[in-house]
Amino acid sequence: MTNPQSGGQAHIVQLLSTRQDAALDRWTELAGATLRGRTTQTELRGELRELLSLTLASLEREDDTARSELRAVLADMSGRRARQNFTPKETAVAVFTLKQVVHELIEDADEDQAINEFVAFSRYVDDLGLLTFETYAATREQVIADQAEQLLELSTPVVKLWEGIVAVPLVGTLDSARTQVVMEALLQTLVDTGSESAVIDITGVPAVDTEVAQHLMKTIMAARLMGAECVISGIRPQIAQTIVALGIEFGDIVSKATLADALEYLLSRNGVRIVREVVG
Amino acid sequence: MERVPILKVGDVLLISIQTDLEDRTALALQEDLAEQIVRTGARGVVIDITAVEIVDSFIGRMFATIAAMSRLLDARTVVVGMRPAVAITLVELGLSLGGVHTALNLEKGMRLLAAPDPGGPPGTMSGR
């Protein structure tokens, strides 16, 4: 009994090091029960071997470098699991089964000293298990944040309809963050292409509330400040009713029923006339 | 103190702002411009802010002031080359730039001034 904190597990360390291979086999078997083909037994065994040797090193030497290395490897493994769609339980099981492995070893060896040490060891493994959870949750949150960002980029194309006319077909719910992206993308495109007209098509927007309307107005005002004109199109009947019911004033902003109408309007303003040729 | 040069192109005065304006510079520019419009009898003023990256409410108001002043002296004002970030900032500040015409770039701004005056200030930016 050297250090009551985390040391004083000389017997367990002794047991684990002498029967390392047997322990590793049992650990792989227990932890690999729910792999469902996402990683192979061999891979798992490799991961666990590294964990086991690092655990032993950190228990043995009271060494901060060994411990931080163990935590880093464990965090890395948990993060990988999170990305491979393991459940939290499946991720944590990999760590917690070590307890069972050690417990079985102690029972086999029938050592009283080791049983006393088991409580401290158990606490040590719990600590590692918590780290696993934490990393898992953090990685999952990161995945969600990344996806939200990707969605943001996906959802804001600015397309050119005609020389000097661009359109933004908006699909999905508009919130402040998205509107900001749309606004910047649209205004930047106006500058890059030198377009003086833009159509904001909201056919794919499921609902318009005062906030969304406010965002749209701001976009249109900013475009006007830059010397471009915006037309709104694709307001659906129910949304038109909502807008009127909410008392939102669109002022002198031009609004057309469909994208086609908006294009026709802007073309005629630009002096382009569309004539259908009589064939035959 | 820096002074912003005012260039005469035909009957249009061209002001190209190349740096982020200080308040004193902006005030001096207003004075200079008023004198120049009277002296040259210019019919239009083009303010090119392509290089301006940062605006505050003071500069935003300056555009409106210049426009109102020029209108009194019978010259139309066009602000050209406003960057998206600047436009967004002005909208967020609630500045409507009443009475100011805008154009995407200098070329379009000059063309706007060459076209006959539709009469009356552009009502497009009234504070909404």
| Residue-level pLDDT at A1 | 40
Domains within chain A, CATH numbers bracketed: 10-147 (1.10.490), 159-269 (3.30.750.24)
pLDDT tens over chain B, length 128 residues: 778 889 999 899 999 998 888 888 888 999 999 999 999 989 999 999 999 888 888 888 888 888 888 989 989 999 999 999 899 888 888 887 777 889 998 998 998 888 876 654 454 443 33
CB A121 within 8 A of CB A177: no
Alpha-carbon span B59 to B76, nearest angstrom: 19
Kindly state the tokens that stand for A274. 């569309």
In a domain, B73, yes or no: yes
| Residue-level pLDDT at B123 | 44
Number of domains making up chain B: 1
Helix axis angle for A210-225 and A176-193, nearest 10°, is 20
In a domain, B121, yes or no: no
Cβ neighbours for B43, distance < 8 A, ≥ 6 positions apart: B11, B12, B74, B75, B76, B113
Bridge partners of residue B40, in order along the sequence:
none
CATH of the domain at B54: 3.30.750.24
Phi/psi at A202 (5° precision): -110, 30
In a domain, B126, yes or no: no
Apex A136 CA angle, A57 and A96, nearest 5: 50
Kindly state the tokens that stand for A77. 């493994």
CB pair distance less than 8 Å for B80 and A227: yes
Task: Convert the pLDDT of each residue in A253-278 to its tens digit.
Answer: 899 999 999 999 999 988 888 888 88
ipTM, 2 decimals? 0.77
Kindly state the tokens that stand for B30. 């207003």
CB pair distance less than 8 Å for A218 and B91: yes
Nearest to B87 among A194, A195, A225 (CB): A225
Q: Is A141 on the interface with B (CB under 8 A)?
A: no
